[in-house]
Amino acid sequence: MTILEVRSLSRRFGGLQALSEVTFSVRPREIVGVIGPNGAGKTTLFSTLVGFIRPDTGSVALDGRDLAGLKPHKVAAIGMTKTFQNVALFAESSVLDNVLTAGLLRHDVDRAREQALNCLDRVGLREVAGKLAGDLSFPERARVELARALCTAPKVLLLDEVMAALNHAEMTEIMQLIRSLRDDGVTLLVVEHHMRAIMNICDRILVLNFGRLLAEGTPDRVARDPQVIEAYLGRSAEALRR
Ligand SMILES: Nc1ncnc2c1ncn2[C@@H]1O[C@H](COP(=O)(O)OP(=O)(O)OP(=O)(O)O)[C@@H](O)[C@H]1O
Ligand SMILES: [Mg+2]
């Protein structure tokens, strides 16, 4: 049984092959990590999955439904959404309104407000719902971004470096949140450079390198894969084995 089926996805930017024949599938309630060096194509993959970028070739199916040609808001309405690596909130709007806007994809205003407050609760930001988004700290803004994604009630949620710039305690909280989302039935794909976090929360890991799927497997297997170590993990692989 699969919820997400990705077949032979390719995308070129000028002379650069950003994604090359990427094929994988994801089971419901899986937490799948996507790792790889800077520029490997991780964000491009997520953007292509949700319809921000059109693939040159290949297909994406969510719950058996072909997503070809659908715009991101349509894909979100069907049940898949992503967070943005570079968080861009409406700085002059309240935190609540920033989240509520995303919820309007799925709900009417009253229900969206209720959902937005629930989602803010979930990411620990209920108390700052009335603040201007522009007045938040960087880690808080990352949480708002997460609440915005949650407010679309995703079946499949793609998280692009939501732990960047978080301290240890904040990272632990986000990891707990990711697990609790899975317990609620959400399927998650997670791009993250923090290897400890990735190895800790993921059932399976995909490794991208120069737009290609270099390896795929359990965290343990991937961490021991000589090709992965050479391409990406380097000396940090030693730390992982400890
Ligand atoms: N819109 C675009 N136009 C041209 N080139 C792009 C575009 N988006 C991404 N690229 C290029 O495609 C490659 C893959 O970029 P991408 O952002 O997907 O990498 P990434 O794995 O997310 O990297 P990082 O870990 O730094 O976030 C890079 O070489 C990048 O410069
Ligand atoms: Mg990226």
Which pTM does this prediction carry? 0.93
Q: Which of 153, 184, 208 is the last residue of a domain?
A: 153
Residues 163 and 228 in one domain: yes
Q: For the chain, how many structural domains are there in total?
A: 2
Condensed to tens digits (0 to 9), the pLDDT of residues 77-92 reads 999 999 988 878 899 9
- Domain with 114 in it: 87-153
> What are the pLDDT digits (tens) for 48-77?
999 999 999 999 999 999 999 999 999 999
Q: What is the pLDDT of residue 147?
A: 95
Take atom 27 of ligand 1 and give the residue whose Cα is closest.
38
Q: Are residues 137 and 229 in the same domain?
A: no
pLDDT of residue 219: 95
Q: How far is the CA of 115 from the centre of ligand 2 (A)?
A: 28
Domain boundary, last residue among 115, 135, 153: 153
Q: Give yes or no: residues 168 and 69 share one domain.
A: yes
> What per-residue confidence (pLDDT) applies to 73?
92
pLDDT (0 to 100) of residue 236: 53
DSSP H stretches of helix in 104-194:
109-122, 138-150, 168-183
- Return the pLDDT at 233: 65
Q: Which of 17, 38, 43, 52 to mutate to test the pocket of ligand 1 (most atoms within 8 A of CB)?
A: 43
Taking CA atoms, 97 is separated from 22, 117, 136, 147, 174, in Å, by 37, 10, 14, 11, 22
Atom of ligand 1 nearest to the CA of 36: 21
pLDDT digits (tens, 9 = 90+) for 184-241: 999 999 999 888 899 999 999 999 999 999 999 999 999 899 888 888 766 555 555 5
Alpha carbons within 13 angstroms on the beta-carbon side of residue 54 total 5
If you average pLDDT over every residue of the chain, what do you get?
Answer: 92
Residues 149 and 166 in one domain: no
Place of tokens 């049984």: 1
Question: 105, 126, 153 — which closes off a domain?
Answer: 153
The answer on 139 and 69 residing in a single domain is: no
Based on the domain organization, do 165 and 72 belong to the same domain?
yes
How far, in Å, are 35, 82, 145, 190 from residue 160 at the CA level? 11, 7, 10, 6
